[in-house]
A and B are shown apart, each in its own frame.
Chain A
């Protein structure tokens, strides 16, 4: 099983894409899009991270196991966020003190 060697061109293109996305993120921050600001910002960050993971970290050409490790850890993180935020966001719904 040989390891995939990416080309300099691929790496450079990804680098440029990351720089462009960074510029966009800064630019959009100055626009007033209301609640959409956060969505755009996070989407761009996730896109940048995905590019780094797939190409710089070679996951696009990695084994299924590695891909599973990556996806599972993201999922685990989201579980921790979801359950904890469910506490903070639903406190006070009952209208009873301390609940």
Chain B
């Protein structure tokens, strides 16, 4: 693999710079396909929101705007800590890298815990699509047909579910990076894992930046 003079330089690369550029381009190409993956669900959302506007408003009203906004803030905060973590790696500050990774981990976990509470509330209210689904509409939402309500909640669970799955993967990857970070393996010349993971984490944040208003803020006036 790499030789003693160039720790962490893979044998098929000629320089750290070539390796870094390849890693960066590779992660961006991966994110391009992630955009299309989530894009498919956003497309479904668009189709059905234009078809069933009232059902979407009814569903959105049921979601807890406070928790959604809180989670948005938490995730943006975790993007800040992650960006600072990458910066620390660029500057070779070993302990700062570990600190920021841990902060990102904590914030990401808080997000997931809140999500868990949101999901269990849906379960209690029979809002999991399928046989036992039943939406109790109040006021102007009393007559909303169950079918489109199921579609709203199907999209809610599919979109936030895949998002949460990506967060879980992210949290696991941070755990995996803590040891090499502590050992100082992420140097200014070669910290592609931290940089690449940072890109991934920011992408997951961006998905939520769109999910929050599209799911939680429909017709709130």
Contact = CB atoms under 8 A, between A and B. Distances in A.
Q: Answer yes or no: A and B touching, Cβ < 8 Å.
A: yes
- Provide the main secondary structure of the chain A interface: helix
B147 interface: no
Interface string A79-93: 011001100110000
A25 B217 contact: yes
A49 B43 contact: no
Interface of B: 17, 20-21, 24-25, 28-29, 31-32, 35-36, 39-40, 42-43, 46-47, 50-51, 65, 69, 72-73, 76-77, 79-80, 82-84, 87, 90-91, 198-199, 202-203, 205-206, 209-210, 212-214, 217, 219-221
B209 A52 contact: yes
B84 A57 contact: no
A30 B220 contact: yes
Contacts, number: 121
Interface string A17-46: 011001001100111110001000110110
Given A26-B217, A41-B214, 10 more contacts: A5-B90, A12-B80, A18-B79, A25-B213, A29-B213, A37-B219, A55-B83, A69-B32, A76-B36, A81-B46
Minimum-distance CB pairs A-B, first 9: A73-B32, A32-B221, A29-B217, A15-B80, A29-B220, A77-B39, A56-B83, A41-B213, A18-B76
Contacts of B36: 73, 76-77, 80
A94 interface: no
B209 A48 contact: yes
